[in-house]
Structure 1
Amino acid sequence: MALLRHLHLPSAHPHYIPYALANRVQEHLRRGHLDFKDAVSSTSPIRQAREPPPPTLVTFTPSPIYTLGRRQTGPLPAATIARLTAPLRIPSPSQTGRNDHETAATLTPQVLPSPRGGLTTYHGPGQVVLWPVLDLKSPLHKNFTVKCYARLLENTTIAVLASVFGIRAGTTEDPGVWAAASSGREEDARKIAALGVHLRRHVAALGTALNLAMPGPEVTDEGLNPWARIVACGLEGKGVTSVAGEVGGGGARGRVMQMLEAKMVSGKDGPVLGMEEATARLWAGEFSQRIGLGEGVEVVERGEAVRLMERLVREGDEEGGEAAPEQEEREYLARLGTGR
Structure 2
Amino acid sequence: MVRPPAASWHLLRRAPAWRAGRKWASSTRNLHHDGAPASTSASSSPATITHIHLTSSKGFPSYAAASALQKTLRDALLNHKASRDASSSDAAAVAPSPTVISFTPTPTYTLGRRQTTLEPAQQARLQQPLTISTPGTHDGAPSPTRITKRYTPSVTASPRGGLTTYHGPGQLVLWPVLDLHAPHHANHTVRSYARLLEDTTRALLASLPRPVATTASTADPGVWIAPDDGPPRKIAALGVHLRRHVTALGVALNIDTPVTGPEALNPWARFVPCGLEGKAVTSVRAELGARGFDDALYMFGGDADVYRHALAGLWVQELADRLGAAGVTSRTLDADELGLESLD
TM-score normalised by the chain length of structure 2: 0.78
Go from structure 1 to structure 2 and tell me whether the alpha carbon gap of 1:53 and 1:142 turns closer, same or farther (over 3 Å shift): same
Further displaced range: 58-67 or 36-45: 36-45
3-state SS of 2:212 partner? coil
Could you list the per-position Cα deviations for residues 67-102 of structure 1 after superposition, in whole angstroms to 9, with x for gaps in the alignment? 0001112x211111111000000112327689x66x
Q: Is this contact kept in 1: 2:202–2:215, CA < 8 A?
A: yes
Match for 1:279 among 311, 327, 335? 311
- Higher helix proportion (structure 1 or 2): 1
2:118 match: 76
Q: How does 1:149-164 map to 2 (within 5 A)?
A: 149-164=193-208
Match for 1:52 among 72, 84, 95? 95
Q: Is this contact kept in 2: 1:116–1:197, CA < 8 A?
A: yes
Deviation at 1:259, TM superposition (A): 6.5
Identity %: 48
Could you list the per-position Cα deviations for residues 160-195 of structure 1 after superposition, in whole angstroms to 9, with x for gaps in the alignment? 000124000011221110023134xxx732100000
In the alignment, the residues of structure 1 paired with residue 183 and residue 224 of structure 2 have an alpha-carbon distance, to the nearest angstrom, of: 32
Deviation at 1:11, TM superposition (A): 3.9
3-state SS of 1:94 partner? strand
In the alignment, the residues of structure 1 paired with residue 332 and residue 212 of structure 2 have an alpha-carbon distance, to the nearest angstrom, of: 30
In the alignment, the residues of structure 2 paired with residue 97 and residue 246 of structure 1 have an alpha-carbon distance, to the nearest angstrom, of: 20
1:32 match: 76
In the alignment, the residues of structure 1 paired with residue 309 and residue 272 of structure 2 have an alpha-carbon distance, to the nearest angstrom, of: 28
1:299 match: 330
1:335 match: none
TM-score normalised by the chain length of structure 1: 0.79
- Higher strand proportion (structure 1 or 2): 2
Match for 1:181 among 227, 233, 247? 227
Go from structure 1 to structure 2 and tell me whether the alpha carbon gap of 1:254 and 1:174 turns closer, same or farther (over 3 Å shift): same
3-state SS of 1:81 partner? helix
Deviation at 1:51, TM superposition (A): 1.4
3-state SS of 2:186 partner? coil
2:259 match: 216
1:251 maps to 2:291: yes
Q: Is this contact kept in 2: 1:154–1:171, CA < 8 A?
A: yes
In the alignment, the residues of structure 2 paired with residue 300 and residue 247 of structure 1 have an alpha-carbon distance, to the nearest angstrom, of: 30
Q: How does 1:1-340 map to 2 (within 5 A)?
A: 1-11=46-56, 15-43=59-87, 45=89, 48-73=91-116, 75-94=117-136, 103-164=147-208, 165-172=210-217, 173-183=219-229, 188-217=231-260, 219=261, 221-248=262-289, 250-258=290-298, 274-293=306-325, 296-302=327-333, 309-310=338-339, 323=343
Q: Which runs of 5+ in 2 are unaligned?
A: 1-45
Go from structure 1 to structure 2 and tell me whether the alpha carbon gap of 1:43 and 1:49 turns closer, same or farther (over 3 Å shift): closer
Q: Which amino acid aligns with 1:299?
A: S
In the alignment, the residues of structure 2 paired with residue 301 and residue 105 of structure 1 have an alpha-carbon distance, to the nearest angstrom, of: 24
3-state SS of 1:20 partner? helix
Q: Is this contact kept in 1: 2:53–2:331, CA < 8 A?
A: yes
Q: Is this contact kept in 2: 1:54–1:140, CA < 8 A?
A: no
Further displaced range: 122-131 or 158-167: 158-167
Q: Which runs of 5+ in 1 are unaligned?
A: 262-270, 317-322, 325-340
In the alignment, the residues of structure 2 paired with residue 11 and residue 274 of structure 1 have an alpha-carbon distance, to the nearest angstrom, of: 14
Q: Which amino acid aligns with 1:228?
A: A
Could you list the per-position Cα deviations for residues 257-299 of structure 1 after superposition, in whole angstroms to 9, with x for gaps in the alignment? 24679xxxxxxxxx995122111001011111011115x3100
Query: Per chain length, whose mean CA-contact separation is higher, i.e. which structure has more relative contact order (CA < 8 Å, sep 6+)?
Result: 2
Q: Which amino acid aligns with 1:288?
A: A
3-state SS of 1:151 partner? helix
3-state SS of 1:285 partner? helix
3-state SS of 1:155 partner? helix
3-state SS of 1:228 partner? helix
Q: Is this contact kept in 2: 1:116–1:196, CA < 8 A?
A: yes
In the alignment, the residues of structure 2 paired with residue 82 and residue 93 of structure 1 have an alpha-carbon distance, to the nearest angstrom, of: 29
Q: How many residues align?
A: 292
Q: Is this contact kept in 2: 1:193–1:209, CA < 8 A?
A: yes
Q: Is this contact kept in 1: 2:109–2:153, CA < 8 A?
A: yes
